């Protein structure tokens, strides 16, 4: 959608001090230093879902990082490049760490129908084991692959499951593999999520090539272009515009090419490092004020009023249900904002000094659980488990020769809930902690009878007196309505909302994970830049 340029010395209200609200403020303040910003944040800290608290151990004075939200950036995306460049501009480039594509920590796993952990293929041997244990290929899929080039394209939107079933004639791929990927990104239901919203490239391939199989075969036989030509063609217009308007010395092409060997990026002191330091920068170096502990009680997109103050533009990055409650009665946006569906995730950090949590022969990033329809009902609502200590122990600095010093400790994050909770009453914390212990015993083969479990309650400060060799530390968080679901009908909902903004000439735009281009952190940052340019 188009956004009107802001008047000279204009005032902008930003709803939410998460990564989306803060990067939007940063970009627009660089483009328009005359603009003043007021950021309204309901919590007492910046960062939103990017939350990296440290567990303090009293007797040893240790400080153990426990990521409570996103912990890595995947792939070489424009938003990731922007984030790294911001850290460089804040003199925090030493925070950027990467994991090489050949690293053991880059191995990925899923569970088979029996709950056993199986490596996603990265070699011939692992491929043989994978296809033997994970029932991906069945008779229907083989027939479907042969018939797929003759399946007519469908213009209408459909669920991810419907798309694969229509084109391949089988649900084995979605049930046993693709649903795991969806669990890791959206914590969502592959039978409800819109293909146009979560995998639009597949619909594009279908409409342009007429066949997924034909497209893959054509890609495999296509001649490689020269590396120099490839590098130039991949330097997108968005990256060029960023360098021109925001950071002329960024040299993002070199950074982009360097990162191709590193599919995983993290920050040494946690993902919260960027929003925390960016918030400090904005307050001290731009005309920005952040109101912590200040939820949005009133928001009128027609007049530009937020919490009794007048603004020329309102940038919302908060939960759409919360925004709907703040709008004037009978505002046409209210039913549309309330129609956005979210899922809740129960996240548990587990730490031990001994290497007892992780399979010794299966180092990697972690495992995701497919839905395995008609085999089990997943009573644990398990989405996946991340091997944090493996990632940390294999990290290296992007801008220096420094490498992590491997430790004997184990640290993992267990994720449960998501779309499963949409059909249940969310279990109590007590019941969920029991389920976490079941996961440790059944999936990771930890004999809990040999260890003492210490639970750090959600409401407490993250502090323990000591951690003994036989202690297992558990810290948990219930993330209510943390991930929006791009279910079937979301595209129509998004179009309707944007049409209302245009028709009513509202002084409002949306950032964050809703009505933008994706739920990933890099997607949110790219959207912040794109809309800041429109408003300049």
Give me the residue spans of the domains in the chain. Answer: 11-49+268-340+486-535
> Phi and psi for 331 in degrees, rounded to 5?
-65, 135
Query: Any residues with CB less than 8 A from the CB of 306 and at least 6 apart, and which?
Result: 13, 15, 38, 40, 296, 298, 299, 300, 314
**Residue 328 and residue 313: Cα distance in Å, rounded?**
17
* pLDDT at residue 459, as a whole number: 67
Query: Any residues with CB less than 8 A from the CB of 301 and at least 6 apart, and which?
Result: 314, 327, 331, 333, 501, 504, 506, 507, 508
Query: Any residues with CB less than 8 A from the CB of 176 and at least 6 apart, and which?
Result: 112, 113, 134, 135, 136, 370, 372
Cross-strand bridge partners of residue 485 = 341
**Residue 142 and residue 455: Cα distance in Å, rounded?**
49
**Residue 130 and residue 136: Cα distance in Å, rounded?**
9
8 A C-beta contact, residue 507 and residue 20:
no
8 A C-beta contact, residue 26 and residue 19:
no
> Phi and psi for 208 in degrees, rounded to 5?
-90, -40
Helix (H) or strand (E) holding 414: strand 410-418
8 A C-beta contact, residue 442 and residue 376:
no
* pLDDT at residue 227, as a whole number: 46
Determine the 3-state secondary structure of 143 from DSSP.
helix
Q: How many CB atoms are closer than 10 A to CB 154?
A: 15
Query: Any residues with CB less than 8 A from the CB of 174 and at least 6 apart, and which?
Result: 160, 161, 164, 165, 190
Give me the DSSP letters along 81-137.
HHHHHHHHHTT-GGGEEEE-TTSGGG-EEEE-TTS-EEEPPSSHHHHHHHHHHS---
> Phi and psi for 410 in degrees, rounded to 5?
-120, 140
CATH code for the structural domain at 11-49+268-340+486-535: 3.50.50.60
**Residue 182 and residue 198: Cα distance in Å, rounded?**
9
8 A C-beta contact, residue 534 and residue 526:
no
* pLDDT at residue 219, as a whole number: 79
> Phi and psi for 218 in degrees, rounded to 5?
-65, -40
pLDDT tens sequence across 80-117: 999 999 999 999 999 999 999 999 999 999 998 888 89
pLDDT tens sequence across 204-239: 999 988 989 888 888 777 655 444 444 444 789 999
* pLDDT at residue 1, as a whole number: 65
> Phi and psi for 515 in degrees, rounded to 5?
60, 25
Cross-strand bridge partners of residue 42 = none
> Phi and psi for 179 in degrees, rounded to 5?
-65, -30
Cross-strand bridge partners of residue 455 = 474
8 A C-beta contact, residue 285 and residue 30:
no
Report the chain's C-alpha Rg in angstroms: 24
Per run of 10 residues, the mean pLDDT along the chain (length 536 residues) is: 86 98 98 98 96 94 94 93 98 96 94 89 90 87 91 94 94 92 95 95 91 85 52 77 96 94 96 98 98 97 96 97 97 97 96 90 92 72 96 95 87 96 89 93 91 85 92 95 96 96 96 89 96 95
> Phi and psi for 342 in degrees, rounded to 5?
-125, 160
| DSSP label of 193 | B
Determine the 3-state secondary structure of 195 from DSSP.
helix
Candidates 353, 389, 356; CA nearest to 468 is: 353
* pLDDT at residue 457, as a whole number: 82
Cross-strand bridge partners of residue 505 = none
* Tokens (6 digits) for 535: 């408003």
């Amino acid at each position: 959608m188009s956004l009107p340029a802001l008047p000279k010395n204009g005032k902008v209200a930003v709803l939410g001090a998460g990564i989306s609200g803060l990067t939007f403020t940063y970009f627009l303040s660089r483009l328009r230093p005359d603009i003043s910003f007021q950021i309204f944040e309901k919590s007492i800290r910046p960062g939103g879902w990017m939350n990296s608290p440290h567990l303090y151990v009293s007797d040893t004075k240790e400080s153990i990082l426990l990521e409570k939200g996103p912990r890595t950036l995947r792939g070489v995306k424009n938003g990731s490049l922007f984030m790294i460049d911001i850290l460089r501009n804040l003199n925090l480039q030493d925070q950027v760490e990467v994991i090489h594509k050949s690293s053991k920590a880059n191995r990925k796993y899923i569970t088979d129908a029996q709950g056993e952990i199986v490596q996603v293929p990265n070699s011939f041997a692992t491929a043989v084991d994978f296809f033997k244990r994970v029932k991906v290929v069945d008779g229907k899929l083989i027939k479907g692959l042969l018939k797929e080039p003759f399946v007519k394209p469908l213009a209408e939107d459909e669920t991810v499951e419907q798309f694969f079933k229509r084109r391949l004639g089988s649900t084995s791929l979605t049930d046993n593999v693709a649903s795991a990927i969806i669990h890791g990104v959206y914590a969502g239901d592959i039978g409800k999520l819109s293909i146009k919203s979560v995998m639009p490239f597949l619909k594009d391939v279908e409409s342009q090539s007429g066949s997924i199989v034909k497209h893959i075969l054509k890609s495999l036989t296509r001649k490689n272009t020269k590396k120099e030509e490839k590098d130039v063609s991949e330097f997108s217009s968005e990256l060029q515009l960023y360098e021109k308007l925001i950071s002329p010395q960024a040299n993002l092409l070199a950074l982009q090419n360097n990162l191709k060997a590193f599919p995983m990026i993290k920050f040494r002191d946690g993902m919260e490092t960027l929003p925390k330091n960016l918030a400090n920068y904005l307050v001290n170096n731009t005309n920005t004020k952040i109101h912590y502990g200040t939820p949005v009680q009133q928001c009128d997109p027609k007049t530009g009023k937020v919490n009794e103050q007048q603004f020329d533009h309102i940038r919302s990055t908060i939960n759409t249900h919360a925004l709907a409650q703040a709008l004037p009665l009978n505002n046409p946006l209210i039913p549309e904002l309330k129609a956005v569906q979210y899922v809740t995730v129960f996240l548990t950090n587990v730490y031990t000094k001994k290497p007892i949590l992780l399979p010794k022969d299966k180092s990697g990033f972690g495992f995701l659980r497919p839905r395995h329809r008609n085999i089990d009902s997943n009573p644990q609502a398990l989405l996946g488990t991340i091997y944090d200590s493996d990632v940390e122990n294999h990290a290296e600095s992007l801008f220096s020769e420094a490498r992590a010093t491997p430790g004997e400790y184990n640290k993992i994050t267990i994720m449960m809930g998501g779309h499963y909770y949409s059909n249940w009453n969310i279990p109590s914390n007590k019941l969920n902690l029991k389920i976490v212990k079941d996961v440790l015993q059944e999936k990771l083969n930890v004999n809990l009878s040999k260890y003492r479990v210490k639970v750090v309650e959600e409401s407490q400060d993250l502090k323990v007196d000591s951690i003994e060799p036989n202690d297992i530390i558990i810290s948990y968080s219930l993330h209510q309505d943390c991930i929006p679901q791009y279910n079937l009908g979301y595209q129509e909902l998004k179009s309707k909302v944007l049409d209302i903004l245009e028709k009513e000439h509202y002084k409002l735009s949306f950032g964050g994970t809703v009505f933008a281009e994706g739920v990933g952190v890099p997607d949110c940052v790219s959207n912040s830049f794109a809309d800041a340019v429109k408003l300049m």
